[in-house]
Amino acid sequence: MPGSSESSSSSRQFSDTPSPRRLLSSSKVYEGRIWDVVSDAFELAEDSGTLVRDYIDHPGAVAVLPMNDDGDILLLKQYRHPVGMDLWEIPAGLLDIEGEDFVVGAARELAEEADLQAGEWNVLADFFNSPGSSSEAIRIYLARGLSDVPEAERHLRTDEEAEIELAWVSLDDAVAAVLEGRLHNPSAVVGILAAAAARARGFSGLRPGNAPWPAHPSQR
C-alpha cells in the first residue's frame, strides 16, 4: 500500500524527546526588549565537527481558545506590524513574568484581551512556533465556563491592543477559514483545528489546565 512500510504501525506512539548535544560555546549577539538572539557552537556527536546556529531566545507564550456554552469560539482582530496585516487571532501573550504558572498567565491574557474569565481549563496543544530559528514554546488552552470580568476590573488596552475587535464565530466556520487560507496566526490555526478534533471526541482525553509542560525550555 502507498506510504506503508515494515516499521509503520497504527498503534505506534510518537513523541518528541530532549536530545542533549555537546555545547561548545554560547554568546548573546543581540539583546532586545523582549527576547535576545544568541549564537551557539555545538557538536552533534563527538568529533563530528562544530556547528554554529543563531536563534531567538524566547520566554515562550500561552494562548487561549475561549468557547461559550453554544460551542462558538471567540476570535480577536489585531494589527501585526512585521507582516503588515490585521490578523484574526485568539487571546495570547508572553510568559514574561518570572515564576508565573502557565495557566495563570493564560487567565491573565484572557482577561486583558477579551474581558473574560473561565471556570474550566484544558490544554489543547503544545507546539514550537519556529523551532529552526526560535526557542519559543506555546501552549494553547481551551477555556470554558466563561463569564465577564467586572467592568471596574477590566484592563486598559493600549497601542495595538487598543484596536482589538472581538467576534464570536462557530467552530465550523473557523475551521473553514483555516482550510481556505483566510486565517494565518499560528496559535489560532493550531487552536481551532485542535478544538475541532477534540470536539469530535466529545472533548474526552484533554489534559487538565495544570498538566506538566516538560518541553518548555524553563522545565528542562
Q: How far is CA 143 from CA 6, 21, 61, 69, 200, in A?
A: 41, 37, 16, 11, 17
Give the count of alpha carbons within 13 A of 148, CB side only: 3
Are 47 and 34 spatial neighbours (Cβ–Cβ below 8 Å)?
Answer: no
Mark whether 100 is an active-site residue.
no
Cα 195–197–201 angle (5° rounding)? 110
**Which residue, chain included where needed, has cell 556547528?**
51
Q: How far is CA 213 from CA 70, 109, 191, in A?
A: 30, 19, 17
Nearest to 22 by CA among 39, 55, 44, 54: 44
Residue of 161, 163, 165, 180 marked catalytic: 161
The dihedral region occupied by 202, where left means phi > 0, alpha psi between -120 and 50, and beta the remainder, is left
Residues known to be catalytic:
161
